[in-house]
Chains A and B, each alone.
Chain A
Amino acid sequence: MSDTLRAALALAGKDLRLEFRSKTGIISAAMFAALVLIIFNFSRDPTTVSNLDLAPSVLWATFTFGAMVALNRAFHLERENAAFDGLRLAPISREAIYLGKLLANLVFVSLVEAVTLPLFILFFDVDLSGALPGILLITLLATIGFVGVGTVFSAMVVRTRFAELMLPVLLLPFMVPPLIGAAMATTRLLAGRPLSDFAGWLRFLAVYDLVFLTLSALVFWAVVDE
């Protein structure tokens, strides 16, 4: 097990190092998320719809699109110079490749979200002071779910000609349940409801993560083997 973890960490470290050296991916994804927020701000009438009513939907729609853009690049790195063949030939388990890619994607998507959240507070004037730990927990749970499934799918779509289009088509239906859970929990949290009011949604998100992470790790060999 420690071998798997070590290989996974090495792989994630390699991906993130590449990412931080060029910085193109992370900056573009964060900019994209910021622009989605701006679009949302202008696609409603601020005099009739209050910020707080719209806030959870805006936040989660933005996170969804941001994650999508971020996930698209996960396996693009490996396409050049047949890097993926090298990865496949490496004496590490398929679970280690999955775990490594998952960790790198999680860090990457979390960074995009970390840039989006302050902008969201700024643009939509939402007071998160008391709700911040809750929001972070919900975001973490939902992001693990998105990224867990997204990592498998992005490994598949990179083999097709229309990867950028294929990923959202495949992934969005799978994002709907965690999206509902996250948006509902956020709504309740921002309305100042007690934890017991949305603990069910948190459990739902946790079960989704557990089931889909396990399944993804189990079937990942089918995606990478020749």
Chain B
Amino acid sequence: MTEQIDKALAREYEAGFVSDVESETFEPGLDERVIRRISEMKGEPEWMLEWRLSAFREWLKMEEPDWALVDYPKIDFQAISYYSAPKSMKDKPKSLDEVDPELLRTYEKLGIPLIEQQMLAGVAVDAVFDSVSVVTTFREKLEEAGVIFCPISEAIQKYPELIKKYIGSVVPKKDNYYAALNCAVFTDGSFVYIPKGTRCPMELSTYFRINEQNTGQFERTLIVADEGSHVSYLEGCTAPQRDENQLHAAVVELVAMDNAEIKYSTVQNWYPGDEDGKGGIYNFVTKRGICHTSAKISWTQVETGSAVTWKYPSCILKGDNSVGEFYSVALTRGRQQADTGTKMIHLGKNTKSTIIAKGISAGKSNGSYRGLVRMNPGAEGARNFTQCDSLLIGDQCGAHTFPYVESRNPTAIVEHEATTSKVSDEQMFLCRQRGLDPEKAVSVIVNGFCKEVFKELPMEFAVEAGKLLEISLEGSVG
């Protein structure tokens, strides 16, 4: 079977087209002048610039982390352009009618129509194109409910007090190398604020698109769910098929106040590079949420894209009775490398966390789960359950598990389990005997393997994720 798998591992990357948009793009290079220019382009207040610059100075002193099981040539940070925006966005279009139709067509092609009438009912979208937000839909409707959903660049001007209070509060500037870089050069992203006791009336979603060559995307998302509120947020991303590697270093911060709940779902489909590992996105992302008393943060991710993924969406369970969840499917094929997992830091009493991570490795790829569960001395009665399962398709790939368990409270309970398996001949035989072709059989088996995670996704995304896996595995058996 292995041979057949190898032979047929080719797959089309459907989002690999380039949009013909005239852009204003900075010359490659990174220094304080570049940061001042980004800040100026965004019309930022002085405090924001100062914040960026202090992060930049820290970053200069830091070293690129090398502990992940990923291998890639050293990144030349001076060869990247840190800002690129369609020229048409310069005048800040007031409505969809003023937006360059080519941009709208791009999103339509990606299956994300931005015309409200055509959209999935109940999903508001912030569309980020390279370094700027193109449009944010359903804003009026959300405003009625008191929900703020807008580009973070706009929030910095309109809601400076909220931004000042929360930006960098969950992921400090010096947290890690890529986070510090993001703090210095972030361009756009989404800001969400859900007022006390409010259930956000619709799903919120941000769609990130990298288009321009030799640019990096450094977006920043901040979601604040005030006491007793509830929000479900979705994130998607794609990029054109190019031979060069492109850097994506995002920071996402979530704040769940007492009794609030944030559900954050990601379907990550950055360009993974070709079969020989040429091109593709380096996806180095820091995502972290803080839970206050009885709050809950749930991360769900389906990672199918990127050449290299370095990503650990985490929860700081600070408040008593707070809950953290991490559900992940990470699929690697070709020469992809993914080192992804989570950190659950239990500080409060009776805090609970659940980690379900499913890794599927095919081709010559390597997928690793890396996680940390820490029970601090104050985590009386806390509980964690972790299940990591890996599925290997073919004998040229790798699947790895690196869980760190640190417990300092005797009343806390941590349980970690990991298994690894392959798509068995028996399973294949059964499916084929029932009339499925081998490709469909693998996809059925893999979908079953991922079921626990898919059921956590909002419906629209679950369907998309299932399809994405199917496409990814297309031709994985001959």
Are A and B co-members of a single complex?
A: no
Which residues of A pack against B, CB within 8 Å? none
Binding site for A on B (CB under 8 A): none
